[in-house]
Amino acid sequence: MPDIKPFYATEINATITLASLATSTTLLVGRQSSEIDNRTALNQDYLVSGKITTGTSPTTARPIEIWVLGALDNAAPTYLGGFGTADGAGPTLIQENKNTMCVLVASITCNATSNQQYDFGPVSIAALFGGFCPARFVFFVTQNTAAALNATAGNHQIRLQPVYETA
């Protein structure tokens, strides 16, 4: 019988513009990533990790949230709540939709230090979806630090480590 082992493919970055992301007191407005399409690679999982950097003079004990949302239709992707397939301003959500459509990847509680980098992960996407990785998915980031996020693009990253089994 062959020895089955996990294989960790080359990491990729999700495309999402988080530089200068405005604060949202309700945490219902934010930014969505471009779609991650797993229909060709057929990875069993993605381990997601990353970093997000606050801007100037954030308020202590306020959150930055990273969410993931799976597509409903694999052939022509349909996302509920006004989400699309490209990096851009996310839709303005209502709390009930956010809680039922999106799955929380990480919630980071910030301190009052300006330009502080916060790291998160790794978190299994498959585990968040009951053991199966969606064929297509996007990330949604919102924050309520009372200040825009750091303006340098390189100070933010959502990184994906594809995982599958090999013999």
Confidence of residue 163 (pLDDT cuts 50, 70, 90): very high
The model's pLDDT over 6-59, given as tens digits with 9 standing for 90+, comes to: 999 999 999 999 999 999 999 999 999 999 999 999 999 999 999 999 999 999
Q: Report whether the peptide linkage leading into residue 134 is cis, meaning its omega lies within 30 degrees of zero.
A: no
The model's pLDDT over 71-102, given as tens digits with 9 standing for 90+, comes to: 987 777 788 888 999 999 988 998 988 999 99
Q: In the beta sheet, which residues pair with residue 124? A: 47
Can you list the domains of the chain with their CATH numbers? 5-166 (2.60.120)
In terms of Cα–Cα distance, which of 77, 65, 151, 76 is closest to 114? 151
What is the CB neighbour count within 10 angstroms for residue 121? 17
